[in-house]
């Protein structure tokens, strides 16, 4: 199991996070950073067709509707899903494939802003 809490140093534009476990079992955990309104979820599963790993960060806040002017709770999330067949990838190859994704997103050719700006 990962540390409890998971601490993440601040990195502009985000504050520092401290995700404490609120629910956990042998297949994942739900963690909250109550100071900043973020939730971190992990899930893992295996079956005959391979394994799956899922991670999600979500944020809930009160937002004003541009249509009605009413304030309501709204939640946004970003998720990462990794699926592997039962053979062909060892732990290092799996980690390298995940790093290929994060490195590509962090590259100047892609960047999170360009990705979220519908560029592909």
Q: Is 64 inside any structural domain?
A: yes
Q: State pTM to two decimals.
A: 0.86
Q: Are residues 82 and 100 in the same domain?
A: no
Q: Are residues 12 and 45 in the same domain?
A: yes
pLDDT higher than 90, residue 1? no
Identify the three-state secondary structure at position 104. Answer: helix
DSSP 17: E
pLDDT tens digits, one per residue of 4-37: 999 999 998 999 999 999 999 989 999 999 999 9
Q: Are residues 96 and 57 in the same domain?
A: no
**CATH number of the domain that residue 31 is part of:** 2.40.160.220
Q: Are residues 12 and 62 in the same domain?
A: yes
pLDDT tens digits, one per residue of 32-62: 999 999 999 999 999 989 999 999 999 999 9
Q: Which domain does 18 fall in, by range?
A: 6-86
Q: Which long-range contacts (CB under 8 A, 24 or more apart) does 28-31 make?
A: 28/54, 29/1, 29/2, 31/4, 31/5, 31/6
Q: Is 1 inside any structural domain?
A: no
pLDDT tens digits, one per residue of 61-74: 999 999 999 999 99
pLDDT tens digits, one per residue of 77-91: 999 999 999 999 999
Number of independent structural domains in the chain: 2
Q: In the chain, how long is the greatest CA-to-CA distance?
A: 54
Q: Is 97 inside any structural domain?
A: yes
Q: Are residues 37 and 56 in the same domain?
A: yes
Q: Are residues 79 and 94 in the same domain?
A: no
């Amino acid at each position: 199991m990962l540390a409890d809490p998971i601490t993440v140093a601040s990195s502009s534009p985000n504050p520092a996070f401290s995700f404490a476990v609120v629910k956990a079992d042998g297949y994942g955990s739900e963690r909250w950073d109550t100071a900043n309104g973020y939730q971190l979820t992990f899930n893992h599963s295996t079956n005959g067709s391979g394994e799956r790993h899922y991670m999600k960060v979500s944020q809930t806040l009160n937002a004003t509707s541009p249509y009605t002017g009413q304030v309501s709770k709204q939640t946004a999330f970003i998720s990462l899903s990794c699926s592997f067949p039962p053979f062909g990838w060892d732990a290092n190859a799996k980690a390298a494939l995940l790093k290929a994704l994060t490195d590509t997103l962090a590259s100047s050719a892609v960047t999170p802003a360009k990705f979220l700006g519908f560029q592909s």
